Amino acid sequence: MILAIDPGKNKCGLAVLEPNGRLIEKKVVAHPQCPGEIYKLIAKYKITRVVVGDSAAGKELEKEVSAILLKGEIVFIPEKDSSREARDRYWKENPPSGLWKLVPTSLRVPPSPIDDYAALILGERYLNR
């Protein structure tokens, strides 16, 4: 199992994927709760590989994750365009209704954080490389 993390200053996106790419669980958590949630997911799903976005926040998170992930590997993946792709994926899975259908995807703002979708994108990038 793979845990993908989209690290941020205020919140983190987390996504658990099977090696075939099937999504098991995804969520957005506040940054202070991120290490605890990572620990829970690693224990629950027996995670062996953690994929982290290669931002400065990702490098900081590496220390915390490596203390939790005793038997496994941490891999950094480029975050370039992951937020845009996450927004596109969100609207594909949650199509707008009414007049919002006429507004281009690039101009719509999702009603909730999409960091979990960004984590999913990072996990898929890792699996597809």
Please, what is the average pLDDT of the chain?
A: 90
DSSP state of 21: -
- C-alpha 100/C-alpha 60 separation (Å) is 39
Q: What is the 3-state secondary structure (H, E, C) of 28-56?
A: EEEHHHHHHHHHHHHHHHCCCEEEEECCH
Condensed to tens digits (0 to 9), the pLDDT of residues 78-124 reads: 999 999 999 999 999 999 888 888 888 778 889 899 999 999 999 99
Strand order, beta sheet including 23-30: 23-30, 11-17, 2-6, 49-53, 73-77
More confident residue, 28 or 56: 28
pLDDT greater at residue 125 or residue 104: 125
Length of the chain: 129
**Contact (CB, 8 A) for 11 and 31:** yes
Domains in the chain (CATH in brackets) are 2-128 (3.30.420.140)
